[in-house]
Amino acid sequence: MEHLGLVGLADSGHDRLFAALTGMSVGGASERTVGIVKLPDARLDQLGIMSKTEKLVPATFEIAYVPGLAPEPGKGLGSRLLGTLRDCDAICFVLRSDGVDPEDDLATIEYELVLADLASVEQRLYKQQRLAKGDKSLLAEIAVLELAVAILGEGTPIWRSDLNDEQRVHLDPVFLLTNKPVLLVVDVPIDRIDEIDSIAAPLGEGALGVCTEIEGDPDVIASVGEERAALLADFGVTESVVPRLARSAFLMLGLRTFFTTGEKETRAWIFRAGAKAPECSGVIHSDLQRGFIRAEVVHWDELLEIGGWSQAKDVGRLRVEGKEYVVADGDVMEIRFNV
């Protein structure tokens, strides 16, 4: 399961965003809190209706709430919170905009993470330099570590640096915080809701404007479906933060979705773009990957057009794919295996 770290300065609204995403209240918690985000997907709903399924299981990812940081730079995050972020696949920064420049918030958070990364890289560099006296194969890693020390020493996060993918591989053992994908969310006050897009725009194309005062309201959180949409629409919010953030996170992490469907259950499964059929079958269960024989595949919209799995089989529309098949987003699959 993918893991997203949620970070913000004190009073950034990231506690309300966490509640909006997970339905869990952190209530000013001083410890990290991990919740599950269910990903809305209209394709799943339509497949469930087609199959007259008893149970819908959406794709999910984990999100870890990190208590609000002190507004002043240099206070440090603490080893426990750093450990929470190092375990994450990506980090979501929640930035204030009510009387504050969001870019100033971003600079403060980046400063904290840069300090933590610099200490980690220097420690790794010292260790590898000592080992390199008897192992010259470490010289390539040492060269990259030295570059990273120089970059971080200037206050620049690795994600803003010119290091290429090949160089960044040498930094994997250090689990750097500023080497992770980053999603920017700007918390917009309710009285500026009509400016939500323009407030987020200066931070880049992928930045999301969100009003956590609305999205994190208990009545909105408790509502579902059309009721929630209607409540949000009353405030001028055209789409909930959950699908918006999910789409951004999927794009950032290179994630895709495939489906399984039947009368008992219709389920969405997450996989990384470029994965082949055996690897995707392993997302369902390791036995399926170990004993993979073939996959029967049809794209979700084609299956809906035909009207069902058995109908697709009857008219010869199910493709039989082997171990080299690269699974596409929206594929519906049935795995054949033997262990």
Residue 337: DSSP 8-state: E
| Alpha carbon distance 134, 137 (integer Å) | 9
pLDDT attached to residue 29: 65
Instruction: Specify if 263 maps to a domain.
Output: no
Domain span including residue 314: 274-337
* Residue-by-residue pLDDT tens, the chain, 339 positions: 578 899 888 888 899 999 999 988 887 666 778 899 888 899 999 999 999 999 999 998 889 888 876 544 555 566 666 777 888 889 999 999 998 899 999 998 898 899 999 999 999 999 999 998 888 889 999 999 999 999 999 999 999 999 998 999 999 999 999 999 999 999 999 999 889 989 999 998 889 999 999 988 888 888 887 888 888 888 888 888 888 888 888 888 889 999 999 999 999 999 999 999 999 999 999 999 999 999 999 999 999 999 999 999 999 999 999 999 999 999 999 999 998
Annotate 158-195 with b (16+ C-beta within 10 A) or e (fewer): bbebebeeebbebbeebbbbbbbbbbbbbbbbeeebee
Asked whether the beta carbons of 90 and 4 are under 8 A apart, the reply is yes
pLDDT at 211: 93
Domain presence at residue 136: no
| Predicted local distance difference test score (pLDDT) of residue 86 | 83
Q: Which residues, other chains included, contact 4 with Cβ-Cβ below 8 Å and sequence gap of 6+?
A: 37, 61, 62, 63, 64, 88, 89, 90, 91, 92, 183, 249
- 303: number of Cβ within 10 Å: 25
pLDDT score for 69? 66
- Cα Rg, the chain, nearest whole Å: 23
Lateral strand order in the sheet of 331-337: 56-57, 266-272, 255-260, 331-337, 292-299, 319-321
Question: Which residues lie closer than 8 Å to 272 by C-beta, 6 or more apart?
Answer: 253, 254, 255, 256
In a domain, 234, yes or no: no
**Position 331 in a domain:** yes
3-state secondary structure of 200: helix
CB 21 within 8 A of CB 63: yes
In a domain, 193, yes or no: no
User: How many domains would you assign to the chain?
Assistant: 1
pTM: 0.85
Q: How many CB atoms lie within 10 A of CB 272?
A: 14
Domain assignment present for residue 53? The answer is no
Q: Which position has the token pair 């609204």?
A: 13
**Beta-strand (E) ranges in the chain?**
3-8, 33-38, 56-57, 60-65, 90-96, 182-187, 208-210, 255-260, 266-272, 292-299, 319-321, 331-337
CB 248 within 8 A of CB 24: no
CATH number at residue 321: 3.10.20.30
Structure-block tokens of residue 12: 């950034």
Output the six-digit token pair for 236: 């001028």
Measured CA angle at 257 (ends 169, 265), to 5 deg: 140
Q: Please tell me the predicted confidence (pLDDT) of residue 126.
A: 95
The length of the chain is 339
Q: Is residue 319 part of a domain?
A: yes
